[in-house]
Structure 1
Amino acid sequence: MEPPLQTRRSADLLRRLPILVILLVAAGGAVLLHDRLSFEALAQHREALLAFRDAHYGASVLAFLAAYVAVVTFSLPGSLLCTLTGGFLFGLFPGVLYNVAAASVGAVLLFLAARAGFGARLSQRIEAQGGAVARLQAGIRESEWSVLFLMRLVPVVPFFVANLLPAFLNVPLHRFAVTTVLGILPGALVYTSVGTGLGAVLARGEAPDLGIIFTPQVLGPLLGLAALSALPIVLKLARKGR
């Protein structure tokens, strides 16, 4: 016996409520926080941040992790600034560990909210309708590990897109989580390292060189990792071609 229509509607609303709240906060944050989460704001408060870290290290770590998780979960502007701040406050190690942990937790929370709200049903509708989109979905599922790694490793894929797209394709949580942690680690190492020198840069009134990830010595290894991730896809296509 099916539950009453009103009950089903209430259940649907509760399931979609987290992602709707996230979308609402993201829209508001894009307008209200665009100018507040900036290098200028960090330069203005850097002495206070360092003093708080020195006086209350444990609390500063928890506050940083909570803020970074919130930025990623709600897709607020400032995720890159958070990564740099992690290096600025805590050094390369353990700063990179804090950065990867916070970014991964935020990504998983956004993924779960999107999948619960829209992902599972959207995936089922795509499969039922068939056509080119369904074939694309099936192709991605054949090489999910490689595709997920590629979305994290290739710098041109926006972080929030790499969080939402797998949810809409109903990717298993463990695959999403593992590829997120391992896939963002190389970029996190680069930008956390940049953040370690952020104090001197801000003291001179300058902005850090964020284009460092596109220099040959950094981009080359990243593209090499991306090529290794894409190799299983290429091999599958070659076998199908034969």
Structure 2
Amino acid sequence: MALTKLSRNALRVAGILAFVAIILVATLVLRVQDHIGDILDWIEAHKVAGSLSFVGFYALFTVLPVPAAVMSLAAGTIFKLTLGSLLVWTGAVLGEIGCFIVGRLILRDWVASLAKKYDIWQAVEAAVEEEGWKMVVLLRLSPVIPFALLNYMLSLTAISFFDYTWASALGIIPGVLAYVYIGSLANDVGEILSGRTGVSPAVTIVSAVLSGIFIIAAFVIITLYAKRAVSRRLEQERLRNGDLEADADLVAREDGVTERLIQQPLHQA
């Protein structure tokens, strides 16, 4: 049994090293992020094969992770709103699934040891365990954790693979539509790569206001869910330990978690 456990640990360490090596090679040696423009040019010139390649690249960039925001915008320019949204959504869902599998099978212990150091994550973890798919949807709508990191962190929670997949797929729809729509206003991929999207000031203002209201509302609900979940978890700990003096600590820890959640910067997927 000891040998089996040792073998599993060795395989897990090997998996972590291999994953880190792949990221380093892709980002530092091959510098995939510097070739996104060339990739998009090829996809634009080969629409049929490019559509399938786009999904694959998007999923790959999500797993590595390489920032995929430019890909989302470019999808609107190349494929327009309907097809572009479908391709981005498909690639993002496949990428999220890949992150979940890698996180749960390979990186679980390593990432969990890092996550335990942060009260913000312990609050989110408790809320996901308590609320399940509802919390996943809210985190996707208004993430308090960056999108790429959130994919891996959710793999450490008690959420099932099925609930994670469909809730994530549902929660990213507004963000996908927003990015692809903005990209569809650009004349060509060059504008996207240069940071010019052709969005009028009026559209920018309306989008910013609506997004702000939407994100703040979701963020408030997330905070309430997290605070309630942490409260229940700490109360269970107090009852198990039979420690009446834990009441004061319970209140202090709840307030600390709430304060950290409020102070966290919002990150757009």
**Would you call these one fold, judging by a TM-score over 0.5?**
yes
Q: Is the 8 A contact 1:91 1:192 kept in 2?
A: yes
Match of 2:61 in 1: 71
Rounded to whole Å, the distance in 2 between the matches of 1:166 and 1:204 is 31
Match of 1:218 in 2: 211
Which moves more between the two structures, 101-110 or 142-151? 142-151
Helix, strand or coil at the partner of 1:157: coil
Aligned residue among 145, 157, 162 for 2:150: 162
State the Cα RMSD in Å.
4.0
Alpha-carbon distance change, 147 to 205 in structure 1, aligned in 2, over 3 angstroms:
closer
Do residues 116 (structure 1) and 105 (structure 2) align? yes
Match of 2:78 in 1: 89
Q: Is the 8 A contact 1:154 1:226 kept in 2?
A: yes
Per-residue deviation, 1:73: 1.3
Aligned residue among 4, 16, 24 for 2:21: 24
Query: Which structure 2 residues correspond to residues 99-110 of structure 1 after superposition, within 5 A?
Result: 99-110=88-99
Per-residue deviation, 1:182: 1.2
Q: Is the 8 A contact 1:145 1:175 kept in 2?
A: yes
Per-residue deviation, 1:171: 2.7
Helix, strand or coil at the partner of 1:208: coil
Give CA deviations for 1:11-43 in whole Å, capped at 9, x if unaligned.
Answer: 3444555554333222333334276146xx36x
Rounded to whole Å, the distance in 2 between the matches of 1:36 and 1:228 is 38
Rounded to whole Å, the distance in 2 between the matches of 1:207 and 1:121 is 36
Q: Letter of the aligned partner of 2:83 in structure 1?
A: P
Aligned residue among 46, 49, 74 for 1:52: 46
Q: Is the 8 A contact 1:119 1:170 kept in 2?
A: no
For structure 2, list consecutive stretches of 5 or more residues without a partner in the other structure: 236-250, 252-269
Alpha-carbon distance change, 159 to 19 in structure 1, aligned in 2, over 3 angstroms:
farther
Report percent identity of matched pairs: 20
Give CA deviations for 1:160-186 in whole Å, capped at 9, x if unaligned.
Answer: 111111122243112211221111111
Aligned residue among 150, 155, 161 for 2:138: 150
Give CA deviations for 1:68-114 in whole Å, capped at 9, x if unaligned.
Answer: 111111112x3111111221221110211110111111111111111
Do residues 80 (structure 1) and 82 (structure 2) align? no
Q: Is the 8 A contact 1:86 1:99 kept in 2?
A: yes
Per-residue deviation, 1:217: 2.8
Which moves more between the two structures, 177-186 or 216-225? 216-225
Do residues 36 (structure 1) and 26 (structure 2) align? no
Rounded to whole Å, the distance in 1 between the matches of 2:6 and 2:227 is 44
Rounded to whole Å, the distance in 1 between the matches of 2:80 and 2:102 is 32
Match of 1:178 in 2: 166
Rounded to whole Å, the distance in 2 between the matches of 1:110 and 1:97 is 20
Alpha-carbon distance change, 166 to 205 in structure 1, aligned in 2, over 3 angstroms:
closer
Q: Is the 8 A contact 1:120 1:169 kept in 2?
A: no
Rounded to whole Å, the distance in 1 between the matches of 2:121 and 2:80 is 46
Alpha-carbon distance change, 182 to 17 in structure 1, aligned in 2, over 3 angstroms:
farther
Rounded to whole Å, the distance in 2 between the matches of 1:186 and 1:103 is 13
Aligned residue among 173, 178, 182 for 1:190: 178
Alpha-carbon distance change, 111 to 143 in structure 1, aligned in 2, over 3 angstroms:
same
Helix, strand or coil at the partner of 1:198: coil
Alpha-carbon distance change, 133 to 89 in structure 1, aligned in 2, over 3 angstroms:
closer
The number of residues matched between the two structures is: 224
Q: Letter of the aligned partner of 1:159 in structure 2?
A: F
